[in-house]
Structure formats: C-alpha cells, structure tokens
Amino acid sequence: MTSRLQFFVLQCGMILFVAGFYRSECFGQLLSSDVVRDVDLHAGKVLANWIDEKSQAQWDQEGVAAPLIVDDSTFLRRLFLDLTGTIPSVATAREFLDSTDPYKRDIAIEVLLREPRSAEHLARVWRRMLVPTGTPTEAMGQMIEPWLKDQFARNAPYDEFARNLLTVKSTDATDPTKPYATSAIMFYQAAGGNAEGAADSATRFFLGVRLGCAKCHDHPFAKWKQEDFWGMAAFFAGVQNGTVDDSPRTTIRPSDSDVEYTAKLLWEEETKLDGASPRKVFADWVVSEHNPNFAATAVNRVWQHLCGRSLAGTVDDLDQANAEDRAILLDGLAMEFAESKFDLRHLISAICRSKAYQCSTVSPDQLGGKLQVADVRPLKTLSPEQVFDAMEQALMLPVGRTDNAARFNGQRATIVSRMNEAFSDSPEDFSAGIPQALMMMNGTLISDATNLQTSRTLRAVVDAPFMKDEERLDTLFLATLTRKPSKREREVLLTSAKADGADRGTVFADIMWALLNSPEFVLSR
C-alpha cells in the first residue's frame, strides 16, 4: 500500500520534469517517436558493421582487447550531447533506461538525428570548424549558422554543401530563392573578405591542408610553396574588400609583391579553366572523386566530433598524416561516404552505432593493468553552448521570452562568452581557467540553481512528499549526470549530508552544487 502511494506521488513529482522536458522543445516520446516508422534501421547497421570489422582487425593486430561497450546511461548522455548539444531530461532518461527494446540505441540515434535541435547543434559544431575559436572574426562565424542549420536540417549531400559554400555570391543575398545566401557569405567575411583568406579557409576546412604559412614564405615544415598558396588564392580573385563574386580574372598579385600568380590547383600539374568561372572549377575539383582529401577530411571531422579524436593526422592538417594511418580506417570510410552520395546523416548514424563510438573510456586500471585495452574513446570537453544547454535542461530553466529565460536575458551570452575565453577546438583539451571555475562555483545561474527559493529542479525534489532521500538523490543524479548514483556515492553523499545536521533543503542544494561542478557534468565520457 505504502509503496503504491509512494509510486503515485513519485509520478506526480515527475510531472514537473515532464513539463520541463516539453518546454525545452525536445522530442515527444523518444523511443515511440513517429520518426522511426519510416527509417530503415538496417541501412546504418551495414556500415557500422564494416567499421567494427576494421576496428577489430586493428585491435587484433595491436594485440589489445576490444574496449567494453558502455551502459545505457553513458550512451544516452553521450548521444544527446553529440547529436543535440544538450542532455536528456529525467523523463527521457527514465524512458530509455527502463525500455527493454533491443533496438533502443539504434532508434534513439535515428530519432535524435532528425530532431530540429540536432541541425542547430551540428551547425554550431561546424561553425567552429569553419571559424575556429579565438579567431578575431569569431562573431561573424556565428552568422554562418543559419545556412549550416538549413543544410543539416535538409541533410544536404556534403558535395552540394561544399559547392554551395564555394560558389555563393554577394548578389545572391537579394535572390528570394536563396534565403540563406546572406548567411553563407559570412564564411567569406569571417575569412577576411579577401581572396587569400577565402583560399586559406576553404583549403583548410574542406581538404585539411593549411596553406596559410605559405602566404608570405615557403611553408617551413610542409612541402607547400608560396606559388601553391597564391595559385589557390587566384581562384578567389573575385573576393575583394568583402564583396564575394566570380572574377573573369585568373591571376592574382600579392599587395606587397610584383609577382603575378596564375590559378593552379594544389597537387595538379596545371589547371585549364577553359573560360569557366574559377570558383566553379575550384568547387568541381574539391568535391571530385579523384580528390584524395575531400571525403577523408569530412569523415575525419565527423569522427573527431563524435569520438573525440581524428582518425588520422589532425583535422586541419590531413596532408601531414601518413598513408598507413589513413589506410587503417579513414580512406575506406571516406570511400563509403562518397558512395553514399555524401549522405552525412548516414555517416553519423553508422559511426554512432559502431563499437568505436559506443565503447567506454579507459579506466586507470586498464591503463596500468596487464590486459591492454584499446584506448579509443577520450574524455570530451563540452563546448560553452553545451554547458549552458545542459544546465538549462538539468535545472529546468524557463525557455520562454516572457519568462525572463536565461537563454534570452543575457545570462546565456555571459556564460558562453566567459567559457569561450578558455575553449580549445580539440575536444580532448579541458582549457577552462580560474574565471570559468569561479563562474560555475559562485555565478548567478548556479547560485539560483542551488537555492530552494529559485531552483525548480531542487524544489521538485525536496518538496515531493513521501519521496525517500535515496529517490531524491537518484533524481538529482539523473537530472545532471543522466545516471543513478553508485552505492558508494549514495552512502557518502547522504551520510556526510546527514552528519552535518543541516536541513534537507540545504543538503540537496549542496549536492546539486557539487554535481553541477563535478568533472562528469562538463566532460562527456
């Protein structure tokens, strides 16, 4: 009788969470979503199996054990952060954890990939690839997001994506059939609004080759010469003083030089334009099946975003990677990607289903122990936007403009810009400094979140009658870390809390603070 009553009250308490969940404009029921009815769950599995075979062969060759596959909690949190930029609500987490559907992971992947929020998140991730953090023009980079979001929402083939970006013109901004042209043009503005910047950014982003060094002198470490840089820049001769256009000119002269360079594609003997628009020739060459770096750079970037590390070399310097490293998995997967007509969603889905994605981060025991386990999955640092969005979800913050929501009233902007001051583009680095830690410890948002007067999550937990303290703790853990506490965590946190003789509200406020400040909140494992 008692337990039934408890269950009923628990359900009532959860209504608050469910409400928060809808407000965060995320998903209906995750696993029973209509979305999956039309999706062929088998399609992604074939490629995932291919990835698994290649990975296993490599682990065998290295003489290491395959890594363990993570539990449902870790998987769900990982997937939400990677595909939507936020963490699941308590209700979604419970739904997923309680489900016995053997295909629930595959379903979750397909559903999340089709959420509008996913396109928004991927746009942010790609914007940081296009205009890296710390670039003086970062603010302009943010203005590319609407175009990116449209590309991801439509799942535009990646070659089309590249052509679109490489051939957009300033005059497209007034063309009503190209509503996102203004946004796409910001790529050129963020690159400096000139030919050299455009060539440099396009080559780095699409081909993983940094030519920037060769602008003023031959590259000190790579084979690139000044003429390679300016040969590529000549294709963008129509990009000048912020105006983006095609130019009939196919030569370019650096402002501090008398040498005139002719348009020539990297690693080609000579380039014949035959009267075609130089940028179109450039775009055709970039996406051509003979280009060794286009698909591979895309795959390398997607892999790093999802798995934390690139497959070969670093994403911006694929030209520096050696062929053996590329041959292990990258080049093959790039070929598969090209054969799928550059279907990005298909690629992401397959990677998310693979063991390489679903495996656990190694533990200190595995690092030091006799049995060597493949070290595939590093910890990944959440981006500034992910930290905010995760807090918004965990704290059930209001999201409406009229509710003085943190996302609109300047709090989000403050938090994101403070975090941006110390953010690295490599997901493996945790770069935050003292100002960022102080903000998480004592800042307004956390202060409100750990105050019974102002925190919805805390109130829902503390005020729910008949809820046991263990259940309260479970709920706080699910809200912040998408998992239930371990036995030891339960013991230590509840005992130490009780020992101090503080009232329940204070105890749970303190626990909430510790959870939000814990490494597990800002590091995806």
Partner 1 sequence: MAQFNQFTRRDIARMLMAGAAGISCSGWMPHLAAQAETAKKNGRACILLWMGGGPSQLDTFDPKPDHKNGGPVKPIDTAVPGIQISEYLPGLAKEMKDLVLFRGMTSKEGDHGRATQLMLTGYRPVEAVNYPGIGSLLAKELAPADGELPGFVSISPFRFGGVGGPGFLGPKYAPLTVSGNSSDPNARADLTVENMLPPAHVSPASMKSRVEMLQFLQQEFTSKVAGEAAFSHQANYDRAIRMVETQGRNAFNLDDEPDALRDAYGRNRFGQGCLLARRLVERGVPFIEVSLANSGNVFGWDTHADNFNQVKSLCDVLDPAWSALMNDLRDRGLLETTTIVWMGEFGRTPVINPNGGRDHFPLAWSTVMGGGGLNGGQVVGDTGKAGAEVVDRPVQVKDFYATICRAVGLNPNKENISTIGRPISLAEAGAEAVKEVLRS
Q: Tell me the residue length of the chain.
A: 525
Binding string, 67-96, against partner 1, x = CB under 8 A?
Answer: ------------------------------
Q: Which two tokens stand for residue 378?
A: 């590093």
The binder of partner 1 chosen from 63, 176, 275, 364 (CB under 8 A): 364
Distance in Å, CB of 337 to partner 1, minimum = 16
Residue selected from 27, 457, 493, 508 as contacting partner 1 according to rule CB under 8 A: 493
- Interaction pattern, residues 112-131, with partner 1; x per rule: CB under 8 A: --------------------
**Which 292-321 residues touch partner 1, going by CB under 8 A?**
303, 309-314, 320-321
> In angstroms, what is the minimal distance from the CB of 356 to partner 1?
8
Q: Looking only at residues 242 through 301 of this chain, which bind partner 1 when binding is defined by CB under 8 A?
A: none
Nearer to partner 1, 283 or 512 (CB): 512
Task: For partner 1, give the closer residue by CB, 408 or 430.
Answer: 430
Neighbours of 505 (CB within 10 A): 17
Q: Out of 6, 32, 56, 58, point to the residue binding partner 1 (CB under 8 A).
A: 58
Window of 151-159, 186-194, 247-255, 508-516 that interacts with partner 1 by CB under 8 A? 508-516
* 451 touching partner 1, by CB under 8 A: yes
Contact flag: residue 328 with partner 1 (CB under 8 A): yes
Q: Binding of partner 1 at residue 447 (CB under 8 A)?
A: yes
Query: Residues 24 to 43: which contact partner 1 by CB under 8 A?
Result: none
Residues 6+ apart with CB under 8 A from 17: 89, 90, 91, 396, 460, 475, 479
Q: Least distance (Å) from partner 1 to the CB of residue 410?
A: 15
DSSP 202-239: HHHHHH----GGGGTS--SSSS--HHHHHHHHGGGTTE
- CA-to-CA distance for 521 and 396, rounded, in angstroms? 16
Select the span of 86-94, 165-173, 391-399, 515-523 touching partner 1 (CB under 8 A).
515-523
Contact between 511 and partner 1 per CB under 8 A: yes
By rule CB under 8 A, what count of residues binds partner 1? 86
Range in contact with partner 1 (rule: CB under 8 A) among 88-96, 155-163, 278-286, 361-369: 361-369
Residue 311, CA distances (Å) to 329, 338, 342 in order: 7, 17, 18
CB atoms within 10 A of CB 136: 9
E-assigned strand segments in 248-395:
251-252, 261-262, 380-381
Dig out the tokens for 442 from the structure. Answer: 């004592």
Q: Under rule CB under 8 A, which residues in 171-230 are in contact with partner 1?
A: 200, 210, 212-213, 215, 220-221
Which residue, 108 or 373, is less far from partner 1 as judged by CB? 373
Name which of 19 and 523 has its Cβ closer to partner 1: 523
Judged by CB under 8 A, the residue of 288, 363, 404, 417 near partner 1 is 363
**Smaller CB distance to partner 1: residue 184 or 306?**
306
Count the alpha carbons within 13 Å of 142 in the hemisphere toward its beta carbon: 10
Residue 169 · residue 178 · CB < 8 Å: no
Question: Contacting partner 1 (CB under 8 A), which of 245, 429, 469, 471?
Answer: 429
Q: Which of 202, 190, 191 is nearest to 162 (CA)?
A: 202
Distance CA 523, CA 89 (A): 18
Our CB check for partner 1 shows the closer of 156 and 362 to be 362
**Within 10 Å of residue 102's Cβ, how many Cβ atoms?**
7
The DSSP symbol for 379 reads -
Structure tokens belonging to residue 332: 């093959």
362 sits near partner 1 (criterion: CB under 8 A):
yes
Q: Which stretch binds partner 1 (CB under 8 A): 180-188, 251-259, 402-410, 499-507?
A: 499-507
Pairing mode, if any, of strands 239-240 and 243-244?
A: antiparallel
Q: Are 100 and 107 in contact (CB under 8 A)?
A: no
Q: How far apart are CA 190 and CA 226, in angstroms?
A: 23
Q: Which residues pair with 223 in a beta bridge?
A: none
User: Of the candidates 26, 351, 478, 515, which one interacts with partner 1 according to CB under 8 A?
Assistant: 515
Query: How far is Cα 119 from Cα 180, in angstroms, rounded to an integer?
Result: 15
- By CB under 8 A, which span of 80-88, 93-101, 456-464, 484-492 interacts with partner 1? 484-492
Is residue 497 within the footprint of partner 1 (CB under 8 A)?
A: yes
- Least distance from partner 1 to the Cβ atom of residue 25, Å: 30
Distance CA 104, CA 112 (A): 12
Q: Does 500 bind partner 1 (CB under 8 A)?
A: yes
Q: Decide if residue 142 touches partner 1 (CB under 8 A).
A: no
Binding flag, residue 384, partner 1 (CB under 8 A) = no
How many beta carbons lie within 10 A of that of residue 73, not counting itself? Answer: 18
Segments of 46-90 assigned E as strands: none
Instruction: Please say which residue, 150 or 375, places its beta carbon nearer to partner 1.
Output: 375
List % helix, strand, coil for the chain (3-state, nearest 5): 60, 5, 35
Instruction: Name the residue nearer to partner 1 (CB basis): 134 or 242.
Output: 134
Decide: helix, strand or coil at residue 244.
strand
